[in-house]
Amino acid sequence: MRRVLFLTASLSLLLAFSITALAQNENTTSGNSNSTRTGNSNSNRKRGPVFRANKDQIKQAQALLKGRGFYAGEQTGKLDTETREGLKKYQAAESLKVTGTLNKITLEKMQITLTDRQKAM
């Protein structure tokens, strides 16, 4: 009698765990498909063109940052760590979103000429 009760209890627990695991798997699967449908999934969404400043624009920005005291390095045309830190200081001082990147808004605020492709973005 005890063996039958033990066996019944064991099978009941096994069944309960199996159902719980199956339900969690279905929730995970449906959660992923919902995020794809609503556009919340970054992995399935195509990125548009990425805005990039060219070497000349970076040099102009470095000169402006140096003139304003936000950057002490050379005008290399490379968006290095020092330049990014200077950009952050400039963006904060100009009440722009602080990103540390030479985005379209920052270049326009600096009055640096955009390329035709950049203007279209």
Residue 40, classed as helix, strand or coil, is coil
Distance CA 93, CA 22 (A): 54
pLDDT tens string, the chain, 121 residues long: the values are 677 666 677 767 766 767 766 667 665 554 454 444 455 556 678 888 888 999 999 999 999 999 999 999 999 999 999 999 999 999 999 999 999 999 999 999 999 999 999 999 8
Domain locations along the chain: 1-46, 55-120
pLDDT at residue 47, rounded to an integer: 83
Q: What is the CA radius of gyration of the chain?
A: 28
